[in-house]
A and B are shown apart, each in its own frame.
Chain A
Amino acid sequence: MVIEHVNGKKVGKVMLYALSTCGWCARTKELLRTLGVDFDSTYVDLLEGKDQDDAMNEVEKWNSKGSFPTLVIRDKISIVGFREEEIREALKG
């Protein structure tokens, strides 16, 4: 799986599942950058074959709708969609 890592303040594992074409995904990624946290992200639409299936299975574990963006924080909570206040709150640390 192609994972992009952005260095920043360590707040625990932060993983963003996104689509390269999606406006709300772009906003979510932008927010993570603005907050300056350390995070990983992947564009599921750019993955192929088994990689994409694996990523979808992972997304569906957290979000049964399998929709984007799905943000998984510290392997504990997931936030689906660009919910700015929830994301800010969850990343306060």
Chain B
Amino acid sequence: MNLVVVDEKEVDRIYIILKKEAESGGYFLNSDVDFSKNLVRGLLKNEQRYGYRACPCRLASGKKDEDLDIICPCNYRDPDLDEFGACYCALYVDEAIAGGKKPAAPVPERRPPRSERGTKRAVFTLSTSPVPSLAFPVWRCSVCGYLCAREQPPGICPICKVKKERFERFI
């Protein structure tokens, strides 16, 4: 068993960064600070043991390629925010929950089970309707849906701050 120790100052520092990044993109962190910091602690623990910030509420495989969809913020955050007002962990919540107007409730798992994973990965169905010839390819952020037309996706999504590897060719 690996004992991973996370520095508490680092937890505070990352919590502040994540909160700022969330708010600049129109998202909210859970206003229960202890609960949120505990999840940030989990993210940092996962970063140490797996090398990436895998979702603290899901079992990571330790293989980045298989876990891209659950690197926080995960691919399921936005649909869960839309449907339940919170992401699976309740680190990210909607405005009503962040403002204490309603409590965060359990969110059912949206990620496919182990046996069904990998089938949908990277098979992004491109539209079959004729597309006018474009000067640039269009890239889509798989987390927040941000679109941009340029030779390569950006290094970091300007909206949700995920890395380049989370972008898919859209058109």
Contact = CB atoms under 8 A, between A and B. Distances in A.
Given A60-B114, A66-B114, A21 B1 contact: no
Contacts of A26: 38
B57 A44 contact: no
Interface residues of A, number: 25
A11 interface: no
23 contacts: A19-B59, A20-B45, A21-B42, A21-B43, A21-B56, A22-B42, A22-B56, A22-B89, A23-B39, A23-B57, A24-B90, A25-B57, A44-B59, A46-B1, A46-B2, A56-B114, A60-B113, A65-B109, A65-B111, A66-B113, A68-B58, A81-B106, A83-B106
Contacts of B107: 81
Interface in A17-75: 19-26, 44-48, 56, 60, 64-68
Q: Which 8 pairs, one residue from A and one from B, show the smallest C-beta to C-beta distance?
A: A21-B42, A81-B106, A21-B56, A67-B109, A22-B57, A65-B109, A46-B1, A23-B39
Nearest to A25: B57
Given A23-B42, A65-B113, 12 more contacts: A2-B1, A19-B58, A20-B42, A21-B43, A22-B42, A23-B38, A23-B57, A25-B57, A26-B38, A60-B114, A67-B109, A67-B111
* Residue of B35, B42, B43, B89 ringed by the most chain A CB atoms within 10 A: B42
B67 to A, nearest CB: 13
B90 to A, nearest CB: 7
Interface of A: 2, 19-26, 44-48, 56, 60, 64-68, 80-83
Contacts of B108: 65, 80-81
B1 A19 contact: no
Contacts of B2: 46
Interface string B86-108: 00011100000000000000111
Nearest to B91: A23
B46 interface: yes
Contacts of B60: 45
B78 to A, nearest CB: 19
